Amino acid sequence: MARPFFTVRYSRSAVVLIAVLAISAALDTVFWLRTVHRLEATARTALTAARENGWRVETTPPRRGGWPFGAWVELNRLNGTHPASVASPYDAGWAGEKIRLGGSWLSLFHVGLPLSLTGHQAVRLVVNENVLTVLTSGLQIRFRNPDNVVFSAPRLQLAFSGRWPDKQFSTQTLSGRLIRFPAARPDATRLGIIAHATTVNGFPLPYGFSSDLRNGRLAIALTASQSSPGLSLLDATSYGRLILQDASASPVPASSDNRITLTGSLALPEQDGTLTFTMTHWQELAARLLDRPEIESHLAPDLQAALQKLLQKASAIPAMKERPFSLSMPVVNGQILPDAQVVSALISQGFRAP
């Protein structure tokens, strides 16, 4: 008895489908093997370079994964330490729970190589007895090239100690970009950082106070010094100036229109220079600050009087409420020194920005 036509037709379709799936799986497997081989080579190169630059690294053997939807190489634990030396005068340490190089095919097809740091990640950096500790999880990094890095993290905690006064604060929904130019000529940018955070909790302020901020932005550039060639990017002597292009945020719970901005530059390593402090819609915030005795007690009497006079003048002249308050402040050895005479001159000249 002859087989029905539709059975033959669908049998052929099934054979074709199976063949297509088999070929796709074979091609995917070949591509996966080639990709993880390159990722393993990249990981080995990075570990070798770290050891050649003074790092002592202990980690588990790399584990392959991702097939059939991607390709990645993963280290389940990594512990690295960098003792200070003459060539690299800084101590550093890094403890990572899980580090993955690679990802889905979609992420690999985008510009840059993805690196995911999941689980607990802890980094410590000690420079001239100043200690910076960073804690995070879920950090995503994409290397567009070795000198152009894009990063993001849902939460990042920072703590300063040592010679620095003890300070701790955290950021939420952090993203940014790091650009480096190791061979930059003197006074040209050697390291640039751009970052944005939706909120900053417990940001340290002068006199031991702290504040919550939102929509924080940071853009800084570090220029090369005469001794930069051959020095590590973590060596403070490799930089000649710090240019603060934009450090701004809106204080909580003030209106988002209330914006505080700090710009300027400092000579390094002396940390001497000038910063310009600018505040928009400043009257409400200034009045609240001056109502707090613990803050007012740290201000010089002539500075208190100048600020009170400024508030009175602003309330009497409606047009002044639309003008930003701008003040240039000298910085000596890293300490900001507000000058009451500058505030007084600002008021007497009809609130013109210096």
Output the pLDDT for position 350: 43
Omega prior to 269 cis, within 30 of 0: yes
Which whole number is the average pLDDT over 309-322? Answer: 69
Which whole number is the average pLDDT over 305-313? Answer: 75
pLDDT band at 344; cut points 50, 70, 90:
very low
- Please tell me the pTM assigned to this model: 0.81
The structure tokens 């050895």 sit at 333
Which whole number is the average pLDDT over 34-56? Answer: 92
Express each pLDDT in 219-265 by its tens digit: 999 999 988 887 878 777 889 999 999 999 998 877 777 888 999 99
Output the pLDDT for position 17: 73
Q: State percent of the chain over pLDDT 90.
A: 47
Express each pLDDT in 161-173 by its tens digit: 987 778 899 999 9
Where is pLDDT greater, at 193 or 255? 193
Output the pLDDT for position 150: 96
Which whole number is the average pLDDT over 151-157? Answer: 96
Q: Is the pLDDT of residue 69 over 60?
A: yes
pLDDT band at 352; cut points 50, 70, 90:
very low
Output the pLDDT for position 8: 54
Q: Is the pLDDT of residue 354 over 80?
A: no
Q: Is the pLDDT of residue 351 over 70?
A: no
Using CA atoms of 248, 254, 256, 257 in order, give the dihedral in degrees to the nearest 10.
-90
Where is pLDDT greater, at 170 or 203? 170
Which whole number is the average pLDDT over 197-216? Answer: 86
Output the pLDDT for position 334: 77
Closest CA to 96 of 54, 39, 145, 47: 47
Which whole number is the average pLDDT over 55-84? Answer: 92
Express each pLDDT in 72-131 by its tens digit: 999 999 999 999 887 778 899 999 999 999 999 999 988 889 999 999 999 999 988 889
Output the pLDDT for position 253: 77
Output the pLDDT for position 319: 62
Q: Is the pLDDT of residue 18 over 90?
A: no
